[in-house]
């Protein structure tokens, strides 16, 4: 069993899969893609390569504390936090071909992409299978396809070992199975209880602030704050929509029929999507600018200093404000505009 786990965790399986897909490291002249990758990698902090090398060889590398403190909960938060608790490195290159560099400074176990690719389609399937009329087998097939393709893509890009991906899927499967019986009660609380918005917003902020301490800066804490704060904003939007009756309720009982695709329906869908994207894009730009300026002023740093944005007292508050507001914009403002435009 130990040998199997070592093999699943090792980079050799990743390199073999990449080779099967036509990827391999060039041993002679560097391609333009390699030059780009190397140039981009130079923009990463020097400590990144040192920490990953140290993790694979078992040697410790000292680093300055970047001001973070420990923390905990939700599927994506659990995945991101687990990385910085376990501190398992991503597959090394060589033998693996690295096709991404932005998140290479993060640790790898478990794969949060695999977790998302399991959680999103399967929770969607479970939430809609008794509410809408469609073949369950087709929904299951699509959910499996999404989970499989996204998970394999993380191995293909050289970002995760096979064990990272399998553990991400397994953790999510357990969490979904455990939480499924409580979904209706949670939704009812989220829509009706007067303290639900306060609880959602405060929890999302606390788990962001108390994110596990990092031994070197990476995008993990910021990305996690984006995810959980958007979730807190979405919870607030759900409460607002119900309390103020902003979303019309149908008088018919489920399961509901799904309308056949037609040219007018496709046009409406396209218009709703385009308008929603424009609203969210503009809102994000405006809210981020205001939040970043305000937080930096309170923290006594310049909003144009990129290094200052990595500080705990700056990174978490401005991202929290931005994405909590976007959760409300996406689920309350956008539908209101669609209704106003009769879309």
Could you list the active site residues? 113, 160
Record the tokens describing residue 267, joined without a space: 């046009």
Closest C-alpha to 235, from 265, 267, 204, 279: 204
| Rg, Å, the chain Cα set | 22
User: For residues 30 and 109, is the Cβ–Cβ distance under 8 A?
Assistant: no
What are the phi and psi torsion angles at 64 (to 5°)? -75, 140
User: For residues 163 and 86, is the Cβ–Cβ distance under 8 A?
Assistant: no
Record the tokens describing residue 76, joined without a space: 């994506």
Q: Which residues, in sequence order, are CB contacts of 136 under 8 Å at separation 6+?
A: 125, 129
Closest C-alpha to 111, from 128, 95, 130, 88: 88
How many Å apart are CA 290 and CA 31, to the nearest integer? 42
User: For residues 189 and 196, is the Cβ–Cβ distance under 8 A?
Assistant: yes
User: For residues 332 and 235, is the Cβ–Cβ distance under 8 A?
Assistant: no
Say how many CA atoms lie within 13 Å of 44 toward its Cβ: 22
- DSSP for 59-119, please give it: --------S------SHHHHHHHHHHHH-PPPPPTTTSPP---TTTTS--SS-HHHHHHHH
């Amino acid at each position: 069993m130990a040998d199997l786990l070592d093999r699943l965790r090792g980079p050799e399986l990743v390199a073999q899969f990449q080779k099967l897909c036509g990827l391999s490291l060039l041993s002679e002249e560097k391609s333009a893609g390699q030059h780009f990758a190397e140039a981009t990698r130079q923009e990463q902090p020097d400590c990144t390569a040192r920490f990953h090398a140290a993790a694979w060889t078992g040697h410790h590398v000292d680093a300055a504390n970047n001001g973070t403190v420990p923390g905990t909960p939700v599927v994506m938060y659990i995945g991101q936090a687990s990385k910085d608790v376990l501190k398992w490195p991503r597959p090394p290159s060589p033998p693996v071909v690295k096709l991404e560099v932005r998140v290479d400074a993060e640790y790898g176990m478990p794969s949060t992409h695999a977790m998302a690719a399991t959680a999103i389609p399967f929770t969607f399937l479970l939430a809609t299978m008794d509410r809408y009329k469609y073949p369950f087998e087709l929904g299951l097939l699509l959910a499996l396809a999404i989970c499989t393709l996204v998970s394999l893509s993380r191995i293909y890009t050289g970002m995760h070992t096979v064990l990272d991906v399998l553990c991400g899927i397994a953790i999510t499967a357990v969490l979904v199975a455990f939480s499924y019986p409580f979904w209706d009660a949670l939704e009812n609380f989220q829509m009706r209880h007067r303290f639900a918005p306060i609880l959602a917003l405060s929890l999302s902020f606390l788990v962001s602030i108390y994110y596990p301490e990092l031994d070197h800066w990476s995008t993990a804490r910021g990305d996690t704050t984006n995810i959980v704060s958007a979730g807190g904003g979405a919870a607030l939007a759900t409460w607002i929509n119900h309390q103020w009756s902003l979303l019309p309720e149908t008088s018919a009982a489920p399961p509901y029929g799904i309308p056949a695709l037609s040219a007018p329906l496709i046009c409406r869908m396209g218009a709703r999507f385009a308008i929603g994207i424009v609203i969210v894009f503009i809102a994000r730009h405006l809210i981020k600018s205001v939040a970043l300026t305000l937080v930096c002023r309170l923290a006594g740093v310049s909003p144009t200093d990129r290094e200052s944005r990595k500080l705990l007292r700056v990174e978490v508050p401005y991202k929290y404000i931005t994405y909590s507001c976007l959760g409300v914009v996406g689920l309350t403002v956008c539908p209101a505009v669609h209704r106003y435009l009769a879309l």
